[in-house]
Amino acid sequence: HSALKAAICLTTALVAAGPAMAEFQDRTFRVSNGINEDHPVNTGMKAMQACLDDATGGKMKMQGFWGGALGGDLQATQAVRSGLQEAVVTSSSPLVGMVPALGVFDLPFLFRTPEEAYAVMDGPFGDTLNEKLDEVGLINLGYWENGFRNMSNSQRPIKTWEDFEGMKVRVMQNNIFLDTFSNFGANATPMSFGEVFSALETKAIDAQENPYVTIDTSKFYEVQSYLSETKHAYTPFLFLFSKAIFNTYSPEEQQALRDCTIVGRDVERAAIQDLNQESLKKMEEAGLEFNTIDPAAQEEMLQKSQVVYEKHKDEIGADVVDQVQATLAEMRGN
Ligand code: TF8
């Protein structure tokens, strides 16, 4: 009679779920990633999928593509924008051509802690940027984490900004990063992420900058000798959905997507925080020489970078820069 009991339970569940489930259709959507499958974004996507299974009775399925298999950040985002592809997890930095206000995240040394970044992104300021993304056909379902960016290179430890002199540094396709590193005396070269490994390997470039977990999972450390903890920027991942496709979904489907992206975000952020030091340790064990930057040298880098703030403020939007700085000042109790 346990089979009968199970059948009764199942029937009750189906009846209970019946009206809601009618709002969900079978949908499979593609999520493009530049990073590899062993990055915590995948951990977050698994949690997001479990949440979607619950919320939609298993009707909504995500299919992750990794290592730029569907194109680099910019290319994949264009495809999402034009409705050819459903979703992309991308850095904000290559998208400043579409939404200049996103450049705020590229300003050197803006955030000091992940908690500051979370509070700004998940609050009203993040919503302001989401509205601007919406205007160009992109629904930002949530700010996931890439993280604080640090330097790797094949030449020497970076301890002060002067150590950048003449170094060939790959930067993202973003003028704020380009100017930040040029201003330090580096030979900054914009390049898409997919080209970085081989450019480092062939010594076409000496250096790149990314969070530890990305340097680890994308294997850049295999062709680098030095790691320097500059924490010169915190850049987020945006979980972008095609507005053209999103608009064809029912309100219930849209809500499930929004809610579950936030569930995934929290799991992903926690996974990165867990993995950060582990990735660093692994890379040191692989033979990379590691150094931190002393606070005075860090402060000097920040001061030296003020010209970058001045130069880019208008193009980001003076109101946007003022808003984030006011929010941070308030949080810091200044
Ligand atoms: C970069 C970004 C990348 C990501 C990802 C690979 O350096 O930091 O980590 O945007 O798509 O290009």
Q: Is the CB of 34 under 6 A from ligand 1?
A: yes
Sequence-separated (6 or more) residues with CB below 8 Å from residue 73: 34, 88, 90, 91, 94, 95, 192, 193
Mean pLDDT of 153-166: 98
Between the CA of 229 and the centroid of ligand 1 the distance, in Å, is 18
Q: Is the CB of 145 under 6 A from ligand 1?
A: no
pLDDT (tens digit per residue) in 258-277: 999 999 999 999 999 999 99
Mean pLDDT of 290-317: 97
pLDDT (tens digit per residue) in 84-103: 999 999 999 999 999 999 99
State the amino acid at position 19 in one-letter form: P
What's the mean per-residue pLDDT of the chain? 94
- Ligand 1: which residue has its CA nearest to atom 4? 91
- Ligand 1: which residue has its CA nearest to atom 2? 91
**Of ligand 1's atoms, which has the minimum distance to the CA of residue 72?**
11
Q: Is the pLDDT of residue 4 over 90?
A: no
What's the confidence (pLDDT) of residue 12? 47
pLDDT (tens digit per residue) in 35-88: 999 999 999 999 999 999 999 999 999 999 999 999 999 999 999 999 999 999
Q: Confidence class of residue 19 from pLDDT cuts 50, 70 and 90?
A: very low
pLDDT (tens digit per residue) in 145-154: 999 999 999 9
Q: How far apart are CA 136 and CA 159, in angstroms?
A: 41
State the amino acid at position 178 in one-letter form: L
Q: How far apart are CA 107 and CA 275, in angstroms?
A: 25
Q: Is the pLDDT of residue 11 over 50?
A: no
Task: Report which of 43, 10, 88 is spatially closest to residue 263, judged by C-alpha positions.
Answer: 43
Q: How far apart are CA 257 and CA 53, in angstroms?
A: 11
Q: How far apart are CA 192 and CA 142, in angstroms?
A: 23
**Residues of the chain with pLDDT > 70: what percent?**
93
Q: Which residue is it, tokens 């290559």?
A: 94
State the amino acid at position 93 in one-letter form: S
Q: Domain ranges for the chain, please list them.
A: 26-332
Q: Which CATH superfamily is domain 26-332 in?
A: Bacterial extracellular solute-binding protein, family 7 (3.40.190.170)
Q: How far out from the chain centre does Cα 124 lie? A: 19
Between the CA of 249 and the centroid of ligand 1 the distance, in Å, is 29
ipTM for the predicted complex:
0.97
| Beta-ladder partners of 60 | 27
**Of ligand 1's atoms, which has the minimum distance to the CA of residue 218?**
6
User: Around Cβ 98, how many Cβ atoms within 10 Å?
Assistant: 17
Q: Is the CB of 214 under 6 A from ligand 1?
A: yes
